[in-house]
Structures are given as structure tokens and as C-alpha cells.
Amino acid sequence: MNRLAIEPGSTVAYHTGDWRNQRPAYRDKWPPCGQTCPAEEDVQAWLALASDRQWEAAWRTLTERNPLPAVMGRVCYHPCERACNRAHLDTAVNIHGVERHLGDLALQQGWRHRPLTDQQQTQQVAVVGAGPAGLSCAFQLARRGFPVTIFDAQSTPGGTLSSGIPEYRLPKSVMQGEINAILALGIQLKLNTRIGADISADTLREEFVAVFLAVGALQPRTYPDDGYGDHSVMSGVDFLRRINDGERLSLPGQIAVIGGGNTAIDAARCARRLGAEVTVVCSQDPHGSHGGHPGAEIPASLDEVNQAEAEGVRLRYRMGVQRLVRSGAHLSGVEIARVDQIHDRHGRFNPVLFEGTEEFLPASLVVFAIGQEVDWRGLEPLVQTETSGIFVGGDAAGKPRFAATAVGSGYQAAMSIIALLTGVPPHYEHHDKAEVTFRDIKPQYYPRQARREGALMAASPGEFSERVAGLGNEAAHEEAGRCLNCGICFQCDNCWHFCPDAAVIKQGQGYRIDDDYCKGCGICAEECPSGHIDMERVAG
């Protein structure tokens, strides 16, 4: 019917759509949590499922990118929460708490990972290192039908998760449970096998079409030898490894830990549990003193620092080591001084100390946790030749060295390996969607709600049991419900209620704009709580 028809009837014959000079478009954005996640988890998606109590579906969505949620929920430094837009409304969503809950639930219920294909590939892939990067890569390959063998020099899998993270942060049973679930996809695990010693690099090269090197960075950076070797001096890595292997070291009364990373804090908290008086000497300033500027603030995560202080660990900020003070070989303490500059003019970590600010810090053991390097011994033939099919990831690939970064690099390596083996260019599911800032959010549509934390259990001396309790179903459900769903439609009906022209049609899932009638007023976009609707100009 002609739109100017004037015969009696309904106004729907008259298309008001040609009045508009802009039109709304429903468009998914990429929320800041997922954008900052080193493992590229679609955080909003699994939070949404968790808020609907679809626990298993949430876990399956999460494990698309990260097969270690119970582990990561405990140890990750959760940059997602620092980016969370909800922080501008009240407090960030407790994302790691919900992640951990999903992981714990999966272990408790015995949910099993599902392969993505029935097709079995024949090309063998080797993964060197059973840490988070290696496990993540093997997991992604195995789900896609590739036969994978993981080699690890240690007697237990987990890499740094196992040797570097104390039991009170990550119970061994949790880690082992998630590793078992990954291996159940049919991955072979060869422990106590060091490349270059137990199996040569060349054999590896011949037997496997592709090799993923995720050997970690386990070689501790050392303090210049003062002539007495490692007498009364230990590296943070070795200290933690021995404790994590179950050794209950007998420690002297006073210990100094040098360094400000999570290794330093972990070592300090372990020493504290073994009864020592512990002082951490770190070159940086406390959290929050430089507005979160990386490099100027202590790199260890805030929760860890707070818990360490609560447990009686002393922290000396912006101090550096001048020299070790010895009487003969006997260590009586460390001379520390105030740090002037942390970085040199090339931006390298190279603290300069103020002369005349020296202090004596009594200690009978010094633990240096001042960084780690990659130990390439035995792998030279793999990394020095220009051959294809060798991939490097995780801590071995460089900084930042976080567990979540390792999981993410494992995924990328798997995708690159598949591309190499199949000849199809790598298909990363890159999220190139628009960002959502708090300005796109309509806070009036979200009630204020307090953040739910896992309860902090009382620390008794000498205890290595877990400090932070899980959220439980109710709190995890509420916490997931606090998600603003930045940039994603959660079917709140606002656009549908408010359209003056009935041009928003509700469908089973979501809505559509009826272009015949939309006048382009923009109310739907203005009142969309999560910023899912964009107005775009139309030529006219």
C-alpha cells in the first residue's frame, strides 16, 4: 500500500521510518574484563551463565580458553577486576571468586572436558614443560584431535604452579584435580624427562612435527658473590621449591627476603609459617602510592601483600641492599639503604641508593627473590636452528610472567601449531569489538550491591592450609549477578518498553528494530543500561 494512502485503515500503512536521520544498531562490545584477561577469557559470558545458575555451562564457556579455573581463581592477579567498570559504581565484581567457584564445582561434580571433534589427527606434537602454558597448549590441541605428549623434568606436573606457589594459596589436590581432567583428554605425560639428558633434542625434533617449549623461567637471578658463596643465602625459587616438595626447613630466627614480587611475598609468608621473623626489602613503594603506575609500586598483588602483613611479615618499601654483613662466613645481617631511582634512564630496573641512609637489618638468612631467567641448557639445538615447528611460550617467552599469561600463550601456540600442521592460516578468535567505558554505562539501572568476598580463615602458626575460603553457590550467584554486562545485551527490555513507536520488536532471544517505523529518536540507545545500542547516522 502506498504510504500516503488515505483510505480508512490502520496507521501501520504509513511508514514513519523515512523520517529518521539516524538508526539504532544492536552491537556486542568487548567488556574490559575480557579485554585485559591475559588468557582472553570471555569473562562476561561465563558470569552471565553463572548468574543464571547455569554452572556447568559457565564452566564450559570459561574452559574454552582456560582449563585451570580452580587454579587461576586462586593464583591469578586478576587484572580483570582492576579494569571492571563496576568499580566506578561501587566495587569491582569478585571475578576471581566466581572463577574459583566454577573450578571447584567442576572438581566436586567431576565434569569432564569434551573434545571439539571426533576426528583423530595423526601428526604428533610435543610439549616441553607441564606448567600452565604447556598444559593449556596440550589441552587446546587434544580437544582438536591432535595427539600430544608432554615432557617435564620434574617428578610432578604443574611447573611453577607446583614448585613456586605455596599450599596455602593453591592446595596441591586442586591443581592435581584440574591437571587430571586435562590429561583425561588423552594426553601423554612423561615426567622426570629432561630434554638434553633423558631424551635428546634431536630425537624430539625427529619424532614430533611440532614442539612447544614452555620450560618456564626457573633459573634464579643471583646476588653478586661476596666471597662466601651461597652460605646463608638462598634464592626464592629454591626456597619455595623445597617447601613445596614438603620439606619443613629449620630456619634461623631472623630472615630477610629481598624483592617485591609474588615470589618474595610467597617466600616471606612461608618463612613466617615456619616461625621466623621476616622482613621483606623491596625497591618499590606501596600499592596505591603512584596511582597504579607499574614499576613504581610493589609488583606483588595487593591481596598477597595485605595477607602477608596481617600474618606479621614486615615490609620495608623503597629500600635496596647495599651489602651483606658478615663476621667471617657467618651472616649477621644486611645493610640496606633508601632507593633514590628505581630505573635507569633506559627504563631498566637498576636501583640507585642514597648515600648516608644505610641501616643494618639483622638476619641469619637472606632469600633473594630478584627475578628469574630461562634455562635453555639442553634445548640449544631446538632454539638455535632456524627450523619451523618450534614454538616458545609461557614464562620462557618473556614478560609479563603471570600464570594467566602462560595459559593465554598456550592457547596461541596451539592455534599456531594447528595452522602450521593443517596449512590453514591461524584462526585466533581475536576480539576486535569496540571497548566499553563507564561513560557508556547507565548507572541508574544498576542497584548498588556490596561485593562478596571469600572468607579469610584464621592463620595459625605453622599452618600451610588454604587461607581464603570459596564463595559457595549463593554468594557466587549473587556476585555474578553484579556484573554490568558491559556492552552486551542482557534482555532487560528497556529499549522495548521505551520505544514510542513500537519499532522495537521483542523476539524469543533479543530484539530487532523495525526499520519501517523507527523514527531514530535515540531513546533506546540513551536508556540501554550496558551500552549495547549504538546510534549511527543514515544518509538522507
Contacting residues toward other proteins, per CB under 8 A: 5-16, 19-20, 48, 51-52, 444-448, 481, 485, 490-494, 496-503, 505-507, 514, 516-517, 519-523, 525-527, 529, 535
Which residues contact residue 340 at a Cβ distance below 8 angstroms, ignoring those fewer than 6 apart?
351, 352, 353, 354
Q: Is the peptide bond before 147 cis (omega within 30 degrees of 0)?
A: no
Please say which residue, 21 or 108, places its beta carbon nearer to other proteins: 21
Q: Which is nearer to other proteins, 311 or 515 (CB)?
A: 515
User: 460: Cβ–Cβ under 8 A, 6 or more apart, which residues?
Assistant: none
Tell me if 236 sits within 8 A of 415, measured CB to CB.
Answer: no
Instruction: Report in angstroms how near the CB of residue 435 gets to other proteins at its nearest.
Output: 22
Spell out where 253-364 has E strands: 254-258, 277-282, 314-317, 319-327, 330-338, 359-362
- In the complex with other proteins, the residue whose CB is nearer, 50 or 258, is 50
Q: What is the largest CA-CA distance in the chain?
A: 109
CB of 53 to other proteins, least distance (A): 11
Is residue 62 a contact partner of residue 110, using CB atoms and an 8 Å limit?
no
Nearer to other proteins by Cβ, of 267 and 524: the residue is 524
Q: Residues near 47 by Cβ (< 8 Å), separated by ≥ 6?
A: 58, 93, 95, 98, 480, 483
Q: Where are the beta strands (DSSP E) in 268-373?
A: 277-282, 314-317, 319-327, 330-338, 359-362, 365-368, 372-373
> Cβ of residue 524: shortest distance to other proteins, in angstroms?
9
DSSP state of 531: S
Q: Minimum distance between the CB of residue 25 and other proteins, rounded to whole angstroms?
A: 15
Work out how close the CB of 487 gets to other proteins at its nearest, in angstroms, rounded to a whole number: 15
Smallest separation (angstroms) from other proteins to the CB of 1: 10
Provide the 3-class DSSP secondary structure of residue 258: strand
Which residue, 35 or 485, has its beta carbon nearer to other proteins? Answer: 485
| Least distance CB 483 / other proteins (angstroms) | 10
DSSP 103-168: HHHHHHHT-----S-SPPP---EEEE--SHHHHHHHHHHHHTT--EEEE-SSSSS-THHHHTS-TT
Contacts of 108 (CB under 8 A, 6+ apart): none
User: Is the Cβ of residue 62 or residue 483 nearer to other proteins in the bound state?
Assistant: 483
Reading the block at residue 433, the C-alpha cell is: 569489538
Nearer to other proteins, 145 or 481 (CB): 481
Q: Rounded distance, CA 83 to CA 437, Å?
A: 10
Pick left, alpha or beta for residue 293 (phi over 0 → left; psi -120 to 50 → alpha; otherwise beta).
Answer: beta
Phi, psi of 460 (to 5 degrees): -100, 145
Q: What is the DSSP letter of 397?
A: G
* CB nearer other proteins, residue 64 or residue 515: 515
Torsion angle defined by CA atoms of residues 156, 161, 162 and 167, in that order, rounded to the nearest 10 degrees? -150
**Closer residue to other proteins in complex, CB, 376/446:** 446
Cβ at position 9, least distance to other proteins in Å: 6
Pick between residue 306 and residue 491 the one whose CB is nearest to other proteins. 491
Q: How many residues in total does the chain contain? A: 540
- Residue labelled with grid coordinates 551500552: 531
Nearer to other proteins by Cβ, of 67 and 520: the residue is: 520
Nearest-approach distance from CB 101 to other proteins, in angstroms:
19
Residues 6+ apart with CB under 8 A from 84: 32, 33, 92, 93, 95
Instruction: Give the residue with the Cβ less far from other proteins, 320 or 520.
Output: 520
